[in-house]
A and B are shown apart, each in its own frame.
Chain A
Amino acid sequence: MCFTFAGRVQTRLMALVGPALLAGLLATIHRDPDYWKLFGVMAVVGLLLDVGVYGWLITYQPRWVSVLLAVAEFLIVKWVVEWPYPLEIRLRTRQALMFYAPAWIVGWATIQALLPTLFVRWAEDGGELVHLPIRLIRNVAARIGRPADLRRSYLSAAALLALAASPWLVVALRTPPGQHFTGLLIAEGWHLDALAAATAAVRDTGAYTPVGMIGGVARALRWPPLGIYWMAWGAAAFAWLLGLWRLVAPRNRGGVLAITAGCLPVLVLPAPWLLALSLIIWLAALVPWHRYRRLAAGIRRLAVGCSVIAIGVWFFAWLRIPAAPLAYVCEADWQALAWLRQSVPVGRSVSAEESLFWLAPALGGHPKTLTEGANSVRLADGDDCDAGQVLFRHADVCVVASSAISP
């Protein structure tokens, strides 16, 4: 069957009714709310895959592909369930399978038998049960494109992102043993500021900004914020490029330039800005901007300039590979910064030398300071560790208390 985007989501939601009932039944029988959490993971994973992957790559979905996707989704659900935080689901694989398999069968029966019986037009309407306003749908659908265009643009955006990020990928693959890759290759200042805000947000709750959300996810999963930050950057960069590809569609020279220009934000902007840009580009799907000729002409001229700069920045990133000072952090520094983030109370500042001075706010979660004071600690190494009260030590790197405060 060929689904529309809205049809996939609506069908998925309808197919989740049976598994929801099954989760409730098992949770009641076994008096274990983990079955509800498992259902939640199953629902969220399925919906994210529908909107983020299937809707773009799969035009026609035969039944045997649905079976294969179910296996893949189970493996993803199993991986998520095994995260220690935040869900803390304590079901064993066998228990999870005893829920997942019947739940999937019930969902499949809903799609194969119940929906076609109750809603005779369900299959013809691409899985849609509730029809959104036709004009809006047609406008947005026409802007986003036909099924074949969706797959082409999805794969093209992925390939373009891989090309734009290739310097970072090379640096990551060349990480020496005992070092951690930070991702800071060019435009380090902007990324450090954003990382500092995200790392600080790991402790603060209630910040509904992009950086706040990055920090919130890191806090919930108890993962290092650096990893979450670059995952968010990658997702935002992909969404930006995909939106650009769909809306500009490189059918001519102007389109190619716009796509090339679109790599400039990917190369230099930090994750929060990219998240905002990707939201803007998708909202632009509702505006027929190409009808405004002056605007379109202005955007084309801007695209020419930006594409030249983007190519230059990309080559500059390659040239920086051997010399980026903040690209790698040694294991000892990494552990010290993690300890700072997790163990030093909010309100303390950090003094350090050289590269650690710049990384302390971003990876340690505390503001940097040039002078020691009552509220500061110091990152030190070697003999300097013997000169004060050591709060933490890993190899030859240590965190030393300021002489004015007690640990």
Chain B
Amino acid sequence: MSPQMIPSAGAGSPESTSVAIIGDGVAALIILGVLSHAGLPPEAITIYGDSPQPLANLTRCAQAIGQERMRSESNGHLAPVDFPGLAWVDSWQRRTPWPAVASIFDRYTPPFALICRQAERLAQRLDFDARRVRVRVADVCRSEAGSPGFKLYDDREAQVGSARHVILALGHGGLAWPAELEPWRDDPRVRHAYEPGQFEPGQQVIVLGGGMAAAHVWVSALRAGCQVKAVHRRPLRRQPLNAARCVFTSPGIRAYQALGPADRDQFLKRVGGGSFPWRLEWEMLWRRARRHGDFSDREGCVMGLEASAPSGRLRLKLEEGDVIEGDALVCATGFRNHVERYPLLSRLICRHDLAVHNGMLSLTDEFTLPGLNQSQSICGVVGALARWALPIADTFAGIKYAARRLTPQILG
């Protein structure tokens, strides 16, 4: 598809307020909602990306692991205003009080389908597609001196647009694989949890990881009639959300933002380790499977993988010389969000000498890139790349939090 010049008002006119959102996934939809709710006219916002629809990546990953319910609770949704939460919406749509009652006890998790329906309605109401330019932005540069703004270029270095403010909503940087398993990525017996695949009844499946994706894969594989051997680096951790609840609000966020760089690093490592919620149906399934010998789990670090024959069984080698055999291996090891996985960011880091801390962009606590900001023209970051400023930045609530803090900086 050939690049298009941005049709939005204000393109090339430094005095107009315009926002370019780089990335057209779920974060872009949330940002569009927040900015529109704050009063920014729709024609002042343009979204750049080449996804078929905002929830394309999220849907693909959810389908791959068989996820039917979200981990988030009633307020973990895409709309710019928190009320009504999805529990109320679900109760109203199904004419039953139970979702709302469950929400009072923090037991409600919305169905994935409800999130998809909300995304469709929101995209329609906000005219998401009309705001979108279907091009992948490969570079962002400052406009000429004296005029605040940015110019956007595609991978053929053709300018595709310009804007006073830019928000990077680039999503995840790709699937994370253990280094020892990189040579096996093309083997049909080995796949990542977020890649599509089928389980065959009777298979022995080795699953690496101890987080939400791993838990879903264990459930899917057991329901398909497989035997599951789970391997995880750290002790399994059960918690309702992917971080302590106070990290989602001021008390926890202020405490986090008061930490120095080394302490933030430690905190992010602790929060970033996998976990999953306690769910009765899961626990009962795993307990039954353990009793029948169909499910086992152990802690261990992967040292290597080999096959007993070219299309034979796999042998996963762990530290201390242990070996686990299986017919298939699934890596539920999440995403790799190191800045080097983003070509656009690599260019920005080189050009503007942006600070990077252990592979993470070092943002201000207002979610902007200090090396790129000028008065009345900011470059904001949301999503997984913003975890330095907010540990839960890669959640719906975190994206909304960041968008709400960028809004006054954009509106001026």
Interface positions of A (Cβ within 8 A of B): 1-4, 7, 59-60, 62-64, 67, 112-113, 116-117, 120-121, 123-126, 128, 138, 141-142, 146-147
Contact = CB atoms under 8 A, between A and B. Distances in A.
Interface of B: 34, 37, 75, 80-84, 103-106, 245-246, 248-255, 258, 397, 400-401, 404
Contacts of B255: 146-147
Contacts of B250: 2, 4, 7, 124-126, 128
A2 B105 contact: no
B251 A2 contact: yes
Contacts of B401: 124
Contact of A124 (B80, B106, B249): B249
A147 B82 contact: no
B249 A123 contact: yes
Contacts of A120: 34, 37, 80-82, 404
Contact of A59 (B80, B246, B248): B246
A122 to B, nearest CB: 8
Given A2-B249, A59-B246, A116 B104 contact: no
Contacts of A141: 254
A127 to B, nearest CB: 8
Contacts of A113: 83-84
B404 A59 contact: no
Nearest to B245: A60
Contact of A142 (B83, B246, B258, B400): B258
A1 B106 contact: no
A147 B252 contact: yes
Contact of B252 (A2, A7, A142): A2
| Highest count of chain B CB atoms <10 Å: which of A60, A124, A147 | A124
18 contacts: A2-B245, A2-B250, A2-B252, A3-B249, A7-B250, A60-B246, A63-B103, A113-B83, A116-B82, A117-B82, A120-B404, A124-B249, A124-B397, A124-B400, A125-B249, A138-B258, A141-B254, A142-B258
Contacts of B34: 120
A277 B252 CA distance: 31
Q: B34, B250, B254, B400 — which one has the most chain A CB atoms within 10 A of its CB?
A: B250
Contacts of B404: 120-121, 124
B251 A3 contact: yes
Residue among B255, B397, B404 with the highest chain A CB neighbour number at 10 A: B255
Contacts of B248: 2, 124
Nearest to B249: A2
B292 to A, nearest CB: 36
B172 to A, nearest CB: 23
Contacts of A112: 83
B81 A117 contact: yes
B258 A126 contact: no
Contact of A4 (B37, B81, B103, B251): B251
Nearest to B103: A63
Given A4-B250, A126-B250, A138-B258, 12 more contacts: A1-B249, A2-B248, A3-B249, A63-B105, A117-B83, A120-B34, A124-B248, A124-B400, A125-B249, A126-B249, A138-B254, A142-B258
A64 B100 CA distance: 12
Nearest to A117: B83
Contacts of B254: 4, 138, 141
Nearest to A145: B255
Given A2-B248, A113-B84, A63 B75 contact: no
A141 B256 CA distance: 12
Contact of A116 (B37, B83, B249, B252): B83
